[in-house]
Structure formats: structure tokens, C-alpha cells
Amino acid sequence: MLNQPAGHLEHGENLIEAVIRETQEETAYLFKPTALVGIYRWIAQSNDTYIRFCFTGKAVDHFAEQALDPDIHKAIWLSVDEVRARKAMLRSPLVLNCLEDYVAGRRYPLNVLVN
């Protein structure tokens, strides 16, 4: 199953802090967000509703020796075409939706998010 880094807010944490922490926990890369790509809603077959905030930014450092979260087997980089070809392996349709919006150039300044 393929997914982008994802997770939950911890107590006292804002959204930017959470995306930095979750990305490092799941990829071992220090991520510096530069823009919001979009906000997405998906209702799974279980009837659970998921809200995803998708960011773009820079991977500014890699901690190769860092253990990833227990549910993460490995972090990989794929091209847009490689992700499209693996559509059946995606955790949710939001993975490709986010990627397509990124490719289309959607960007919103981070200051649209209110702590």
C-alpha cells in the first residue's frame, strides 16, 4: 500500500509542526513546507471521513539511521507516472488527487492556515 506521509495533530501542536514531525517520523527526512497544495475530504467504505492537508516543500536533511514508524516499511520516491501506474496500490484516492493538484500548479500560501 502506498501513501504520502500522514498522521494526526498532537496536543498543543499546530498543523505546520505536525506536517514536519509526521514527515520525519515516516520518511526520516526533515521537511520544510513552503505551500499548501489543497485540503481534501474522503469518505472511506467504512464510512469514516478523512480530511487531508497536502503540502509541498523541500526535503532539507535526511537521517538515514533513523527508524521509521512501525507501520512504515520504507520511504520511496516515485515519479508522477509511477504513482499513476500504481493507482490500485494507493491507500486512498486522495494520494493521486493531491499529486495531480501539485502537478497542475495549485499552491496556497501557508499563512491561509490559522493556528
Q: Output the pLDDT for position 33.
A: 98
Q: How far is Cα 29 from Cα 15, in angstroms, rounded to an integer?
A: 17
Using CA atoms, how far residue 30 sits from 46, 74, 105, in Å, is 33, 16, 23
> What is the full per-residue pLDDT of the chain (115 aa) written as tens digits?
899 999 999 999 999 999 999 999 999 999 999 999 999 999 999 999 999 999 999 999 999 999 999 989 999 999 999 999 999 999 999 999 999 999 999 999 999 998 7
Domains with residue ranges and CATH for the chain: 15-107 (3.90.79.10)
Single-letter amino acid, residue 64: A
pTM summary value:
0.92
Q: How far is Cα 3 from Cα 18, in angstroms, rounded to an integer?
A: 17
Q: Output the pLDDT for position 114.
A: 82
User: In the 3-class helix/strand/coil scheme, how is 41-96 assigned residue by residue?
Assistant: EEECCCCCEEEEEEEEEEEEEECCCCCCCCCCCCCCCCCHHHHHHCHHHECCHHHH
